[in-house]
Every structure is written in structure tokens, then in C-alpha cells.
Structure 1
């Protein structure tokens, strides 16, 4: 059983909670291993249709717990450090690779890699006591977990460099105004779960394939080729037929699903 991560499923929504509130949900090595494992579980579970990532006691993740970390340059080789950092990066890899929509519920500090975990989700809901901070430059490091790749794609290069190079906070209101967060909510976890359930009311394959099509690295022609393949999958999907029938009959669609 995981010690640092709570993993719960209900009605098709998987809620992943980083559970170290005594350190603002900062992570240690075990946390990262457990987080990678539950993300794999959520991705492979056919009864999970959307994912909410959050932190215990209404927070999020304050990055690496420096009290649990070794003296990198004294106790690890470059190869060993690369292996550790790869595992942290793999949380971001997985969040970006999962076609099931993911929502970060950010109620408190999202700092360093914690900020990058939030940025790697498809959508973000922020709370009034939250902030996002890359902050690596403040401690003489670079954004090693994806921030310098993710943030410019979300808010534009010039504005991203302001936050990356100064390490200053992205406030909840700024996050909404920049389009980084979809909503500022008093209870971001409750709102994120509500949003996750809203997505469940839509044809699941269409949601997943639409999510996958949003890829700034592909050319337009690559997009068109993928869209043809995905559209055919959707055309032959029973949930598409049910959605069309429900629309014609002026009723809510009823999808035949087994939820975790």
C-alpha cells in the first residue's frame, strides 16, 4: 500500500492525492515512485475516465522535500542523479501521455516540480490560497522537470520567461487571467471533481481522442492524418450512435459503462 499517495476511484473519476501535509505535500523519493505507479494504474483502468491530481488538506505540492534529499554532489554520481530526475520527469511524461483528461486541483503551493505536475495536467482549478512558482533559479537550479518546456506552450514565451527567470509567483487571479487555470474556486478539489464528472457526460472516446489531438509539436498535415483515424474510431463508437440518437430524441444520452 502506498504511504505518501492516496488513490481513490469513484464513479469513473480517479483522485490522486499527494499525502504529506506536514511538509505542504513536498515529495521524497518514495512519493515519486508511488505517484508513477498510481498514474499507471489510472491509465490502465478501463473504469477510470478522468483523473484529478491534488494534495492533502486542500494543498497541492511544494516540490522536493529538501529534508529528505541527500547532498546530491556528495552522495550521488551524475548517473544516479539522472535516474532520480528521470523518475520525477516521468510523472510529467505520464500526465501528458494519458489521453484520459487530467485536472490539477491546486489549493496551496505548487512549487518547482509540484508546479510542473500541475502544468502537465490538461486542466487546472486554483484556490484563493494557491500559487504556482517555478522558483528553480532562486536555489541555483534549472527547471529540470519540464517547466521551461510546458509554461511557454501554455502562456507564451515572453510571459513564461518572466516567471521562469525571476522565480516569482503566479497568483490565482493571474493564473485565470493568463488562461493557465480554468477557474478560481473556493474549494478547488470539489470544483475539479465536478468538472471531471461533467466530462463523464460526454462520449469518452471522443474526449480522449480530442485530448490527444491537442499537440503543439505536430504539423498540420500530421494533425489531419491523425484526425482521420480518430474520427473513424469515433464514427464506429457506440457512444457516438447513442449521442446522436439522444440529440434527435431530445433526451440525455445513456452510455453503457462500468465505472471504477
Structure 2
């Protein structure tokens, strides 16, 4: 892998988009490397959380213009469809990772890059980060489930302002809207993300079961309270038994 790098320490996988010369804009190859990285992470039992970050002080500038240009030549061409599907597939792969995921957002997250950040379970952003839908600016309809990702994170009004009306927001505003959990100084973004991930990294088996229950309950669509109770019952009983066995040894 050359443009997506990953490493594991203390039960936490750190996945880095490593194309700083283009502000980590996504190519088809990069998207496929990201899927492969998360396949490798999911195959391991010693990972309880994954942090996604960009190199060079920028998260992700969106889809590479070359990908968009090729798709625009003939949007119904099979190769064009496959290329766009590869980009979307990378967001879905992050969202379906067995471990909880955190986006550490510095600099800009634009278009597909914003989708990638929103595909994670939680976001830590720099106060001066720039979150930009970007599709309206270039005369392109949003893709990748953009409106769904925005609305599930921050509700209908925020999704309309950012995705429909093209309003750019910084990290402070993102945290106020609920698009991010915390806005911190740029230099502290990745350390804060690792700190948030640390507890899950200490107990990967429990972390993965909690992550699965969280996603099933929180949605979209969210479940009812009584259904949530039943979703949690099995994993909780497993954790009780595991704790009892540990106490007996």
C-alpha cells in the first residue's frame, strides 16, 4: 500500500490517507487500498477502535478531479460506474468496520472527504477545520449518501444548510451542531482522537460487541427502546459470563 497506511498500537488502528501533495483527494486506487486496510483490521482480534486521519495537515479534499472528469465524459459507461462505486464503497467499508471508528479531521474535509468523516462513528475536529459539502460549488449533485450522512449526524436543518445550501462551517460550528464530538486546537486533534479511542483499545472483544449494538440501535434508522433492550441482551449476558470467568481465575 502506498497511499493508505495503517498501524496498530495499544488496540487502536490508525489509518492514514497518505497523499498530502493533493490534500489526500481520493482516487480509485486509494479507495481500494482503504477497503483492503479495513479488511486487514477486521481480520484481527486485537483492535478495538480505528482512527482515520489525513497526512500533511489536511483530512481529505474529496474525490480526485481526474475521477470526476472521467465520470463526466460518459456517466453511464461501465468503467465510470465502477470507479464511482469504488469511492462510495470505501465510505461504506469504513462505516461497516467491526471496530468503532473516529475521524481525526484537520484542514479541509470536502465532498467525498466529508462523507468519509461522516461515515465514522465519531469525529474530533480542529477548531479551524473546514467542513464543506462542495458539490453545489462545482455543479454536481451530491453522492455517496451525502444527505443521509449529514442528517443522521446533525439533523435536518444542518443537513440542509451544509449539503443543500452549500454553507461552509468550521470545526467549532461543527461541534456545536453535533457533526463532531469535540473541536480542539489543530495540534491536538490526533492525540485527542487516540485518547478517546483508548478505552475501547484496551478491550477489543467487548468494544466490537458494543459497536455492533450501538449501530443497530442508533441507526439510521434508530430502533425503539424495547427493540434496543433485546439487541443488548445477548452481548450483555456474554460480558457478564466473561467477567465472572475472569473473577474466578
Provide the residue aligned with 1:211 in structure 2: 214
Shift of the 225–59 alpha-carbon distance from structure 1 to 2, 3 Å rule, reads same
RMSD of aligned Cα (Å): 2.2
Deviation at 1:83, TM superposition (A): 1.7
Q: Write out aligned runs for 1:35-114 (5 A).
A: 35-67=34-66, 70-74=69-73, 77-114=76-113
| Partners of 2:64 and 2:88 in 1: CA distance | 16
Provide the residue aligned with 1:24 in structure 2: 23
Given that 1:205 and 1:234 are in contact with CA atoms closer than 8 Å, whether structure 2 keeps it comes out as no
Shift of the 11–75 alpha-carbon distance from structure 1 to 2, 3 Å rule, reads same
1:52-77 C-alpha deviation (Å, 9 max, x unpaired): 00100232101112146543243664
Shift of the 96–205 alpha-carbon distance from structure 1 to 2, 3 Å rule, reads closer
Provide the residue aligned with 2:173 in structure 1: 174
- Number of equivalences: 241
* DSSP 3-state at the match of 2:56: helix
| Partners of 2:72 and 2:65 in 1: CA distance | 14
1:28-61 C-alpha deviation (Å, 9 max, x unpaired): 1111110111011112211111100010023210
Deviation at 1:112, TM superposition (A): 0.5
| Partners of 1:18 and 1:135 in 2: CA distance | 20
Deviation at 1:198, TM superposition (A): 3.1
Deviation at 1:233, TM superposition (A): 2.7
Provide the residue aligned with 1:143 in structure 2: 142
Q: Give the TM-score of the pair, scaled to structure 1.
A: 0.84
Deviation at 1:205, TM superposition (A): 4.9
| Partners of 1:231 and 1:151 in 2: CA distance | 31
* DSSP 3-state at the match of 2:5: strand
Provide the residue aligned with 2:193 in structure 1: 192
Q: Give the TM-score of the pair, scaled to structure 2.
A: 0.87
| Partners of 1:31 and 1:206 in 2: CA distance | 29
Provide the residue aligned with 1:250 in structure 2: none
| Partners of 1:222 and 1:142 in 2: CA distance | 36
| Partners of 1:67 and 1:216 in 2: CA distance | 32
Instruction: Return 96-105 or 207-216, whichever deviates more.
Output: 207-216
Shift of the 198–137 alpha-carbon distance from structure 1 to 2, 3 Å rule, reads same
1:203-257 C-alpha deviation (Å, 9 max, x unpaired): 4355334433322325425434322333333333x2x4489x6xxxxxxxxxxxx
What 5-or-longer segments of structure 2 have no aligned partner?
Answer: none
Provide the residue aligned with 1:252 in structure 2: none
1:113-156 C-alpha deviation (Å, 9 max, x unpaired): 10000001011001133111111121121221121111111111
